[in-house]
Amino acid sequence: MIERLTRDLGFETEIVVLPIIREESGLAKSSRNERLTPEEREKAVIIYYALHSAKTAFRDGTRNPAKLVEIVENTISAEPLAKIDYIAAVDPETLEPVDKIEENAVLLAAAVRFGNVRLIDNIILNKKQ
């Protein structure tokens, strides 16, 4: 989305997309992690596991975005400390929801609260994986 906005506004700026940096546990690194209690921090890893489970299902042939969102939702919902804000399968450029996965990549994104802390994470799904 930032790349498209930069292009559309004619900015001569190079956007460099890098992989998410993760803690050893798999939790996406964020300054917000410092606000988690030790128990919340331990349990927040469920976000990574849920997204990874959906990616595994995608690699195994699941192409229905609703099914992939359901995998993430069911995995995270199993953790009592987690309160889901959203889980979505969207076009990575427009952030519009997708109803099927074809040739284009799909962003599988989640926002989950642990106590007063809202954590976000995502993965890209594409057929090259």
Give the tens place of pLDDT for each residue, 90-117: 998 888 999 988 888 999 999 999 999 9
Q: So what's the pLDDT on residue 124?
A: 93
Task: Determine the longest span between alpha carbons in the chain, in angstroms.
Answer: 46
- pLDDT grade, residue 15 (50/70/90)? confident
3-state secondary structure string, the chain? Answer: CHHHHHHHCCCCCCCCCCCCCECCCCCECCHHHHHCCHHHHHHCCHHHHHHHHHHHHHHCCCCCHHHHHHHHHHHHHCCCCEEEEEEEEECCCCCCECCCCCCCCEEEEEEEEECCEEEEEEEEECCCC
Does residue 43 carry a pLDDT above 80?
yes
The structural domains of the chain, with segments of one domain joined by +, span 2-125
CATH of domain 2-125: 3.30.1300.10
Q: Model pTM?
A: 0.85
- Residue bearing the bigger pLDDT, 40 or 15: 40
pLDDT at residue number 116: 95
